[in-house]
Structure 1
Amino acid sequence: MVSTEAPAPRPPAESQDLAGLEAGLDALDSVRVERTPFTQVLLHKVLPPVLAVVLVVAVWKLLVLAEVTDDYKLPDPSAVWGSLRELWLQGTLLDIVWTSVSRGLLGFLAALAIGTPLGLLVARVRFVRAALGPILSGLQSLPSVAWVPAAVIWLGITDSAMYAVILLGAVPSIANGLVSGIDQVPPLYLRAGRTMGATGARGAWHVLLPAALPGYIAGLKQGWAFSWRSLMAAELIASSPDLGLGLGQFLENSRTDSDMPGVLLGIILILFVGIAIDLIVFSPLERRVLRVRGLAAAGGR
């Protein structure tokens, strides 16, 4: 005999999980990845920042012509260009930039290696979360420059002090970003992973981390920003010939020499490196993850 009994209703939580999963699958099916035309990339991605830079330089030039302040306080844009050209002709420009960039990237990679397992522990172990969660949040809000004097006393004016400041600034951001991403993982994913045998470290690697990628990448972006800011603060305060000439020390040397074009050039180079790393590394990675998950169109963000 064929039973006419209605199937037992699913629990509300399971129904909501399945509805969310079906909606996500529908979104993935509806996404069509297409190559963005070059003219569209040029118009929507390249032209706006170029126009913004041109506008800033034009306003800067107008302020100089209007003589709103003394020349030694606000030099002409051509003077800053002259400082850049001089560094290039001397062959020191790339060395200055690479000294800081190499430190920043190495410190960020070390923070990534420490912050990722720490974030997993905080997210999945209640006792660890209760003990370290508030501390990580407090460290994330603490200005990185506050660590420089302590790092110099502990480690001296060395590369080790620079890396210590970077770690103290970046690790909390990476860990908190991963915790936030894991908190947003639907419970259905975890139950499905356990059903297929993905428990413990396997579950973390194959289920938790992939599912938490959007929040994790946001934490990585913030971690890089903290790494770069921390390094610049350390180079500004703990400058020494033994450390080599980085962007922070170049900025401090220009201030000591009352070289305002050099000061502005140092600020511009620091800003340029921070933006370049974000555009080259993190923004494409974030767009790719969002496209794969059906959260952004191919020609979107």
Structure 2
Amino acid sequence: MTITSPLDTTPSVHRPSRWRRLLWQLGGLALLLALWWLVTDVLRLYPPYVFPSPKAVWTEISYGLWGSGPQDGKLLTAIGNSLRRVLIGYASAVLLGGVVGLLMGVWRPLRDTVGAYLTGIQSVPSIAFVPFAILFFGLNERAVLFVVILEGFIPVALAVSGALMNVSPALRIAGRTLGARGLDLTTKVLLPASVPNILTGLRTAWSFAWRALVGGELLVSGSASLGAQLEVGRNTANMALVIATILIIGIIGGLFDALLRAVEGRVRRDYGLEVQQ
């Protein structure tokens, strides 16, 4: 029997278990595949070159990853190149954005100027920076990395700055009461208290960086990459390859987001911001 304290005012929240959520997700996926198969293989509402069947898309994926065929392992090479680019760009964005965000969080003039500029730039789609990157760096990998770093840097900088500004005043007062001033207050009180919100910003930055990478590769397709595979599919009217590449992009992006979400959830539970499910 569960005994509830009369002083406990925390609302009761009934959340589905992880396994139940997984079953719902798998059931939804099975339903989507069934509808896809029904439209393409049974009803044949569209020609195969417009809307290919699940089997045709799976053939492109299997040949592109580990088999021999039209793509002959090119998708696997494309995934490796794209992951290398996005990890380099994302790591650079986190480092640069963390430093700038920290400076904005502790120095108001910088926050009122650079912070306002970054907020405005964040509203510009990443694809708009690709022509600038091409003209400045040329049709090469540096142009793609520039767009990835820029799109990842802004959310990190704003997240770090905002997290530092939103630390509870009680913690600031407690830190000063215990003798923390200046750098000690920032590194020993403000930053540790900001970690959960900063992790949320890192997850947002990953989404921005991943989308920017694919957009940049789509236009700067000088070597094997996921963006280049989309361009190959368009040029050859191979809709199965296009859909296969889109699925791979979504799966990779979702897996990394799930990993960052798991880390964020663990930290939030350790901070007492979420209950253990």
TM-score band (shorter)?
0.7 to 0.9
Quote the residue 1:207 is aligned against. 189
Q: Deviations over 1:232-264 (max 9, x none)?
A: 010001111xxx311111111111111000000
Deviation for aligned residue 1:194? 3.0
Q: Does 1:232 align with 2:214?
A: yes
Of 48, 55, 62, 2:38 maps to 62
Quote the residue 1:279 is aligned against. 258
Of 181, 188, 191, 2:170 maps to 188
Deviation for aligned residue 1:204? 2.2
Of 204, 228, 232, 1:249 maps to 228
Amino acid in the other structure paired with 2:244: L
Larger relative contact order (Cα-Cα within 8 Å, sequence gap ≥ 6): 1
Amino acid in the other structure paired with 1:200: G
Q: Deviations over 1:74-107 (max 9, x none)?
A: 0111000011111121344332212111111110
Once residues 73 and 51 of structure 2 are traced to their aligned partners in structure 1, the CA distance between those partners, rounded to angstroms, is 26
Q: Deviations over 1:142-168 (max 9, x none)?
A: 100011111011111222111110121
Quote the residue 1:295 is aligned against. 273
- Cα separation, partners in 2 of 1:151 and 1:106, compared to 1, 3 Å: same
CA contact (8 A) 2:233 2:241 kept: yes
Quote the residue 2:145 is aligned against. 163
Q: What is the TM-score of this pair, normalised by structure 2?
A: 0.87
Deviation for aligned residue 1:197? 4.1
Amino acid in the other structure paired with 1:239: S
Q: Deviations over 1:22-41 (max 9, x none)?
A: xxxx99xx9xxxxxxxxx54
Quote the residue 1:49 is aligned against. 25
CA-based RMSD of the aligned residues comes to: 1.9
Quote the residue 2:4 is aligned against. none
Amino acid in the other structure paired with 1:259: N
Equivalenced residue count is 258
Q: Does 1:116 align with 2:98?
A: yes
Indicate the structure (1 or 2) with the bigger Cα radius of gyration. Answer: 1
Percent identical pairs in the alignment equals 33
Of 67, 73, 80, 2:57 maps to 80
In structure 2, the residue corresponding to 1:105 is in which secondary structure?
helix
Deviant stretches of 4+, over 6 Å = none
Deviation for aligned residue 1:69? 2.2
Range with bigger deviation, 265-274 or 153-162:
153-162
Quote the residue 1:35 is aligned against. none
Amino acid in the other structure paired with 1:273: I
Q: What is the TM-score of this pair, normalised by structure 1?
A: 0.81
* Structure 1: unaligned runs, 5 residues or longer: 1-25, 31-39
